[in-house]
A = this chain, B = another copy of it.
């Protein structure tokens, strides 16, 4: 294996392991026993690597999970903190993770959405898993929290990422709390509001003259260069750990339902990683005996303006053809989703589907959710709610079954999407006569 290390992507990714840790010995990431290639199954010791040296497939965390006594495990979890660290026994983190400085995201509300259910004609129980309640108001806090603990374990001192929005703030905030330096790369022409949200945490924020692809290319170069030594890129060289954060959504949903699997889940697709990790989390709960095994269906949701996975699903293809994104759902606008094929596989295996909605439907869905449940979602939440509506109408989603819909971010971050259609009902002079005339009493 050693000989292969000098080649391409994998060698670049491996390089830092040798300088900062002794793989497999000094790294304590709790139940994580190593990394395994999702394509060829090859195993690697824990380290800041993300691609298989043999086949370049994506690596993911492998575990020695605490099987055998589900009742004891359930009790341990329930006695844990009100955040993702209650699931520390199932995550790539040391057992004492809750005592380290971290934003401690998770344990967000699972809202029983009876008003929305009535409007959509869902009778079997409709729930919104509302991740806008996280510290920086998106699900990104979950994945960044995992990457941060991996960065700590590998001796990194700078936390980094490329981002166009939510991730930049999540990394900046997490690094600030944990005492890491942060250096986040963004396209230089990002909207002012997003720049402020990312810059306020005081880390380095570097505008790159180019588009998001240029930013990513630059970051890949930096990881392979001595300049990037000691740098943990949450969504590149720490990606295997980062991704595991999404499993906590599966754990929380089941625990909040009373340790029961939902029948149907509607999950947004950007890279597709969140959806595949939620499936992984559900499978783990079954294996551990924490929930009773039963069929569940996973539905993926995309915006029409960036729908490579739903296009492939509908066409019956196994290959996802890249698209050039053009949608208001910018946090989902990944035209070439890395986990696309895995998403297709999961949707088909579970009997689910992948569907998309257009921008107008996204806006309508944001306002529908706000009007019925008082939850103001980011555009990604408009995508999942809009797709849920469409799936009920088409009969693909069974309204008599328990359904969980994810809202992964906060409407305050994408105010523009609803600005035009969310205005005052009336403007009047301050008099009862004027109010009477407006017909609002």
Contact = CB atoms under 8 A, between A and B. Distances in A.
Most chain B CB neighbours (cut-off 10 Å) among A205, A210, A370, A410: A370
A124 interface: no
A177 B373 contact: yes
Contacts of A202: 367, 370-371
A440 interface: yes
Interface size class on chain A is 35 or more
A415 interface: yes
Interface string A190-214: 0011011101111011111110001
Interface string A170-200: 0011111101000100101000110111011
Copies of this chain, tallied across the complex? 2
Contacts of A313: none
13 contacts: A109-B135, A173-B376, A183-B440, A195-B423, A199-B423, A200-B366, A200-B370, A202-B370, A208-B429, A209-B427, A209-B429, A215-B430, A222-B435
Given A135-B374, A199-B424, A218-B432, 5 more contacts: A137-B137, A197-B415, A199-B423, A204-B426, A222-B435
Nearest to A134: B133
Given A418-B196, A418-B200, A177 B374 contact: yes
Contacts of A428: 206-209
Contacts of A375: 135, 173
Contacts of A2: none
Contacts of A373: 176-177
Contacts of A410: 137, 412
A225 interface: yes
A436 interface: yes
Contacts of A235: none
A333 B179 CA distance: 34
Nearest to A175: B374
Contact of A196 (B173, B174, B195, B419): B419
Given A227-B435, A413-B412, A217 B440 contact: no
A104 to B, nearest CB: 7
B221 A440 contact: no
A315 interface: no
A372 interface: yes
Contacts of A186: 424
A412 B137 contact: yes
Nearest to A427: B207
A101 B372 CA distance: 11
A339 B221 CA distance: 60
Nearest to A436: B227
Contacts of A429: 208-210
Nearest to A204: B425
Interface string A343-354: 000000000000
B425 A374 contact: no
A225 B82 contact: no
A115 interface: yes
A439 to B, nearest CB: 10
A191 to B, nearest CB: 11
A376 B135 CA distance: 9
B430 A370 contact: no
Interface string A226-245: 01100000000000000000
A192 B419 contact: yes
A82 B103 contact: no
B206 A440 contact: yes
Contact of A214 (B103, B196, B411, B430): B430
A226 to B, nearest CB: 9
Contacts of A206: 424-428, 435, 438, 440
A431 interface: yes
A260 to B, nearest CB: 18
A394 interface: no
A4 interface: no
